[in-house]
Structures are given as structure tokens and as C-alpha cells.
Amino acid sequence: MDVAGTGADLDGRLADALERLGRGVRSLAQRSARTHGLSPLQQQAVLALAALPAARREVGALAAEFDVTTPTMSDAVSALERKGLVTRSPGADGRRRLLTLTGGGEEVADELALWDGPLSAALARLPVEDRATTLHSVLRVIADLQRAGVVGVARTCTTCRFFQPDTHPDPAAPHHCGLLRAPLPLVDLRTDCADHEPITA
């Protein structure tokens, strides 16, 4: 075996594997959305509105969340309104329109909650240590892509000003959270932290 060649194309093979995984996730999302008469973006909006705080439940914030244009997200929200799943009301400033799920929307969100069940089941078969290391690696890639302008919104540990990398000797908890003032185990890394504060240049 050509060890040098194998190492040289590792990045390409890893990128290919992630791309294939992304295709699988998109397929799951499309399959789930179709069963409820939704587009994948409409499904994402419903799930987000079920989980996000009020300050982030408006069209512009959702557009940033999913890296789409505001008109595209507005069209998706309008479709959800026509389906009776979402309503709009004035925000605290009287201008922004707060989005809220209707009773029917909440029911649909509950039904959609397990859309990624096959993916979760596949991940659950990996050892916890492997899952933690994979999460850590993926979050580092997300942070690099955000710095490069490829990823818009990312409220991950690795993009937060409180994140202090590689400050502890324990390989299971090598990082430090300045907000919590405590070591940060890999298994506890966040993908969407309510206390996230972006790194400023």
C-alpha cells in the first residue's frame, strides 16, 4: 500500500465522506417533509420555531439561521401561513413580525421531531468517545468555514469568545469555557448555545 498516497488524499476522502453524509441527511429531510406536505426549508422553519427563543423567531433571523435569502425564507413562511401552521404578529418594536406556531403547527413540529431518527440510531452505535471526538472535529471545521464566510450563523463552542482551546491536559476535556469558568469536556460541546457570544476581530 502506498502510505504516502493514502495520507495525501485523506482530506479529499474525508470531504467526500462528509458530502455523502450530507446527501443522506438531505434525503431524510426530504422524505420527512414530503409526508407532511412541506418543503425541506418549511420543515426546518417549523422545527426552528418550536425551539428558538422569541428574539430569533422572525423571517430575517430564520434566513440567517439556514443560510438562505430573506425573500426565500419569507416565501417559505408565507406557505406555512397558508397551511395554517404559522401566524405573524408585531414584535416588541412594533415593526418586526414575530412568527408563532399555531396549534396545528405545534402538532406537526412534534411529529417532525424524529425526522433524523435513522441518523441518530447510526450515531448511537458508535462508542461515546468516537462521537465526542467527531463532534469536536466537525465543530472545528464549522468554525473555520465561518471565518472563511462559508457558514453564516454558528453558535457553537468553537465560534464563541468564551472558548479557550487546549488549556487542560485531560484529552477528554482539553478546552475551557470562560463563561462557566470550568473545563469543557468534548461530550459537552454545544452546537447552539444560548449564551454564545461571537468572537470579535
Task: Give the DSSP per-residue string, 74-95.
Answer: HHHHHHHHHTTSEEEEE-TTSS
Q: Both 36 and 92 in a single domain?
A: yes
Domain limit, last residue, from 54, 83, 115: 115
CATH code of the domain in which 34 resides = 1.10.10.10
Q: What is the pLDDT of residue 56?
A: 87
71 burial type by CB count under 10 A (0-12 exposed, 13-18 middle, 19+ buried): exposed
Q: Both 109 and 157 in a single domain?
A: no
For residue 48, which of 89, 87, 93, 101 has the smallest C-alpha distance? 101
Q: Both 163 and 90 in a single domain?
A: no
- CB–CB of 99/58 below 8 Å? yes
- CB–CB of 161/199 below 8 Å? yes
Q: Both 107 and 157 in a single domain?
A: no
Q: Both 109 and 39 in a single domain?
A: yes
Nearest-angstrom CA–CA distance, 188 and 156: 11
* DSSP 8-class letter at 184: E
Q: Both 89 and 167 in a single domain?
A: no
The pLDDT-based confidence of 110 (bands split at 50, 70, 90) is: very high
Query: How many structural domains compose the chain?
Result: 2
| SS3 call for 159 | helix
Q: What is the pLDDT of residue 95?
A: 67
Q: What is the pLDDT of residue 91?
A: 64
Q: Look up cell 469536556; give the residue.
A: 185
Q: Both 46 and 75 in a single domain?
A: yes
For residue 65, which of 144, 159, 155, 139 has the smallest C-alpha distance? 155
Domain limit, last residue, from 93, 115, 137: 115
Q: Both 137 and 111 in a single domain?
A: no
Q: Within a domain: residue 148?
A: yes
Over residues 106-111, the mean pLDDT reads: 96
Q: Both 132 and 80 in a single domain?
A: no
- CB–CB of 66/154 below 8 Å? no
Q: Within a domain: residue 198?
A: no
Question: Does pLDDT of 1 surpass 50?
Answer: no
pLDDT tens-digit readout, 36-90: 999 999 999 999 999 998 888 999 999 998 999 999 999 999 999 999 999 998 7
Q: Within a domain: residue 12?
A: no
Instruction: Give me the domain span that covers residue 86.
Output: 23-115
The pLDDT-based confidence of 96 (bands split at 50, 70, 90) is: low
Q: Both 101 and 133 in a single domain?
A: no
Nearest-angstrom CA–CA distance, 98 and 155: 21
Q: Both 39 and 93 in a single domain?
A: yes
Nearest-angstrom CA–CA distance, 192 and 160: 11
